Amino acid sequence: MSRRVPPWLVPLACLLAILALPFIAKYSARRAPRGGQASLSSGVARETLVILTPHNEAIRHEFTEAFAAFMAGQGRQVQIDWRSPGGGSEINRLLAAEYAASFERYWTGALGRRWSSHASGGFAADAPPGAPPDPEAAEARRAFLDSNVGCGIDLLFGGGSVDAQLHASAGRLVDAGVVKAHPQLFGDAGIPAVVGGEAFWDRGGRWLGVCLSGFGICVNRDVIARLGVPGLPSSWSSLADPLYFGQLGLADPGKSGTAVKTFEMIIQEQMQQVRRRAEADGVAAARLDDVAVHEGWLAGLRLIRRLAANARYFSDAASRVPVDVATGDAAAGMCIDFYGRFQSDVTAAAQDPEGGRAVPRMDFVMPKTGTSIGADTIGLLRGAPHRELAVAFIEFVLSEAGQKIWSFRKGAPGGPRTYALQRLPILPALYAPQYDAYRADRDTHPYAPNHQFVYHEAWTGPLFRAIAFVVRVMCVDPAPELRDAYQALAQAGFPPEATALFDDVSAVAYETVKGPLRAALRAPNALDEVTWSNRLVRQFRDQYREVVRLARQSQAQATQGGGAR
């Protein structure tokens, strides 16, 4: 007599088999030779370093292995307790909230004071210029800066200089003493403090750049051929061509300091072009800068508006644009260099596994001007529980051994063992010819002299936040209307009246942005910012709708005229 199989038996067997798969895969991965030793961090460790980071698993893994091995050489057993709550914005919120809570405990506990809105609003920021004096806020600020209040974390590892400066200004990052201890690494003989307007390390030593990256253009050859674009784009302005309509991936300046910096560079490039033209036209030398700044600002915003009009989206994730370009979902886009290069290599390898036959469909181009190379940072957090070990880690990351982990190919001597990180080293010594064979990216040299472009801090430096705000209210928020306007213009053959209205950026002229708008953005009361935002979004949206109306009217007139003839 046959017995029926219970109906749950087969699913249970499948469930167990599925659960067993990762264990089998892990076992076989361990048995396979990895070209390196097993994780040193998994052994019995006596010391722990706590690091908060937005870096991915590849970077965490390589630095865990390398630092543990380095410390083992000094007879110390070290493990790293990585904390990764997400990307830059999550980390900023987390740190701000952690320090607010810690300081509240210190203020009400050790200092025996009452927690008030003055203390909570004042401890993490210097009073804005011109603000009425607030003694309690000033006292809280002093108490915080003199304290060793911490959040149980030693280091903030990762994020651009803008984020790092934000934490340094708030008082959450403190001087690790590395600049004083290793003067040969910094300044003229080593890492310059500022390159092309980008700070590479804080003169107060509160944060230090550890590797470099910048935005370039990634492009899909198939898609641009389909669109009829002649040749690869070489500058940001070439992406303003209406042929790219709806096919560009741009980075959201609200989400990335490096993206804001790139938009700032686009504006600076226009300012310099205006200055050269004015000089050629015989404008008086005393007025040259003034003309450059005012006219160039407007020209820069017009160019940004045209780029934005071609955009499919403004991405908040660094990895999105290169992936979309590689898969043909976008023609080109703004993309961080190491993402662009890595994605190009991986796409070429996947496209042509045997190698050497097909033309790679994806390319990465670094625009000659109008881009900025920025530093990825590290900083010691106030109240770090393992300060000495944290300083040792900073020194390691900046040492030649650490810099090789960032920049060398996988398996190169001193390079990463499991993942190629493909980052540009910040230490100039790593660009010496003897390392050319080992660096993953041999062609880029951020310290090579650039005669075409000189950054003028005074022109746009103080407007960093304002630029992000202007791009948002002018391009990101009214994006559908902006796209409609550009499409209508292109279809109507860019009629003069509509085109002039499209190019009108006087609502955010240089004087307006540097004056009242910047003041509203710095005001403690954020309602001023809300009012500006609402007014400008409405104004630009109406402007783009009017452009559509004018363009269509002109097109209709042209059609009627043609019909009449």
Partner 1 sequence: MRRGWLSELFPSLFALLLALFLFWPLVESVRGAFFDARDTASFGYVLGVFRNPVLVEGFGNALLVAVGSTAVAATLGVGAAWLCDRYDFPARRLFVTLVPLPLIVPPFVGAIGVKQLFGQAGAFNALLAHLHLLDPAHATDWLRRGRLATVVALTALHLYPIVYFNVSASLASLNVEMEEAARSLGCRGARTFWKITLPLLTPSLFGACSIVFIGGLTELGVPLVCDFTRITSVQIFSGLKDLGRNPTVHALVMIVLVGTVTFYAAARLLVRQRNAVTQKGARRRHRDRLRPAGAVAAVVALGALVVTAALPNISVVLVAFARDWYGTVLPSHFTLDHFRAALGHEMVVSSIGNSLRYVMLSTAADLLLGTGIAWVVVRRRSRAARLLDAASMLPLAVPGLVMAFGYLALTREGRPLAFLNPVRDPTALLVIAYTIRRLPFIVRSAVAGLEQIDVALEDAAASLGAGRARVVLRVTLPLLLSHLLAGGIFAFALSMLEVSDSLILAQRQATFPITKAIYELFQLLGDGRQVAAALGVWAMLFLAAAIAFARGVMGRRMGGIFRL
Site for partner 1 in 395-424 (CB under 8 A): 419, 422
Q: Does 84 bind partner 1 (CB under 8 A)?
A: yes
159 Cα distance to chain centroid: 8
49 Cα distance to chain centroid: 26
Return the range that interacts with partner 1 (CB under 8 A); candidates 78-86, 167-175, 194-202, 404-412. Answer: 78-86
Rounded CA gap, 33 and 140, in Å?
56
| Interacting residues with partner 1 between 120 and 139 (CB under 8 A) | 120-121
Rounded CA gap, 233 and 330, in Å?
14
Q: Does 491 bind partner 1 (CB under 8 A)?
A: no
Residue listed under structure tokens 């940001």:
236
Q: Does 448 bind partner 1 (CB under 8 A)?
A: no
Burial degree of 356 (CB within 10 A; 0-12, 13-18, 19+): exposed
Q: For partner 1, which is the closer residue by CB, 149 or 398?
A: 149
**Residue in 139, 175, 529, 546 binding partner 1, rule: CB under 8 A:** 529
Crossing angle for the helix pair 400-407 and 387-398, to the nearest 10 degrees:
60
CB of 326 vs partner 1, minimal distance in Å: 8
Residue 482: name the closest of 392, 546, 400, 550 by CA.
546
**Distance in angstroms between the alpha carbons of the first and the last residue of the chain:** 95
Q: For partner 1, which is the closer residue by CB, 77 or 533?
A: 533
Return the range that interacts with partner 1 (CB under 8 A); candidates 140-148, 211-219, 251-259, 509-517. Answer: 251-259
CB of 147 vs partner 1, minimal distance in Å: 15
**Residue in 138, 145, 479, 509 binding partner 1, rule: CB under 8 A:** 479
Rounded CA gap, 458 and 264, in Å?
12
| Interacting residues with partner 1 between 309 and 338 (CB under 8 A) | 312-313, 316, 319, 323-324, 326-329, 338
Q: Does 489 bind partner 1 (CB under 8 A)?
A: no
Q: For partner 1, which is the closer residue by CB, 29 or 284?
A: 29
Q: Does 511 bind partner 1 (CB under 8 A)?
A: no
Return the range that interacts with partner 1 (CB under 8 A); candidates 277-285, 388-396, 463-471, 508-516. Answer: 463-471
Residue 318: name the closest of 255, 262, 386, 229 by CA.
255
Q: Does 525 bind partner 1 (CB under 8 A)?
A: yes
CB of 353 vs partner 1, minimal distance in Å: 6
Return the range that interacts with partner 1 (CB under 8 A); candidates 53-61, 236-244, 284-292, 428-436. Answer: 53-61
Q: For partner 1, which is the closer residue by CB, 312 or 386?
A: 312
CB of 396 vs partner 1, minimal distance in Å: 21
Rounded CA gap, 387 and 153, in Å?
10
Return the range that interacts with partner 1 (CB under 8 A); candidates 117-125, 237-245, 373-381, 431-439. Answer: 117-125
Pairing status of strand 248-251 against strand 311-315: parallel
295 Cα distance to chain centroid: 28
Go through 155-187 and write b for each residue having 16 or more CB atoms within 10 A of its CB, e for each that does not.
bbbbbbbbbbbbbbebbbbbebebbeeeeebbe
Q: For partner 1, which is the closer residue by CB, 23 or 432?
A: 23
CB of 193 vs partner 1, minimal distance in Å: 23
Rounded CA gap, 408 and 563, in Å?
66
| Interacting residues with partner 1 between 197 and 226 (CB under 8 A) | 222-223, 226
Q: For partner 1, which is the closer residue by CB, 306 or 312?
A: 312
Strand partners, 82: 51
Rounded CA gap, 264 and 297, in Å?
10
Structure token pair of residue 384? 């770090």
Please check whether residue 297 is in contact with residue 267, taking contact to mean a CB–CB distance below 8 angstroms: yes
**Residue in 118, 277, 302, 514 binding partner 1, rule: CB under 8 A:** 118
Q: For partner 1, which is the closer residue by CB, 220 or 554?
A: 220
CB of 201 vs partner 1, minimal distance in Å: 21
Burial degree of 189 (CB within 10 A; 0-12, 13-18, 19+): exposed
CB of 405 vs partner 1, minimal distance in Å: 15
Q: For partner 1, which is the closer residue by CB, 313 or 453?
A: 313
**DSSP structural state of residue 190:** S
Q: 129-138: which pairs have CB atoms within 8 A and are 24 or more residues apart?
A: 131/524
- Phi and psi for 201 in degrees, rounded to 5? -160, 155
| Interacting residues with partner 1 between 422 and 441 (CB under 8 A) | 422
Return the range that interacts with partner 1 (CB under 8 A); candidates 56-64, 192-200, 280-288, 551-559. Answer: 56-64
3-state SS track over 487-533: HHHHHCCCCHHHHHHHCCCHHHCHHHHHHHHHHHHHCCCCHHHHHHH
| Interacting residues with partner 1 between 151 and 180 (CB under 8 A) | 152, 162-163
- Sketch the per residue contact string, 345 through 374, with partner 1: x for CB under 8 A, - otherwise: xxx--xx-x-------x-------------
Q: For partner 1, which is the closer residue by CB, 319 or 553?
A: 319
Type of residue numbered 535: R
CB of 244 vs partner 1, minimal distance in Å: 13
| Interacting residues with partner 1 between 255 and 274 (CB under 8 A) | 255-257
| Interacting residues with partner 1 between 6 and 25 (CB under 8 A) | 6-12, 14-15, 18-19, 21-25
Q: Does 246 bind partner 1 (CB under 8 A)?
A: yes
Q: Does 534 bind partner 1 (CB under 8 A)?
A: yes
Q: For partner 1, which is the closer residue by CB, 240 or 331?
A: 331
Rounded CA gap, 379 and 383, in Å?
12
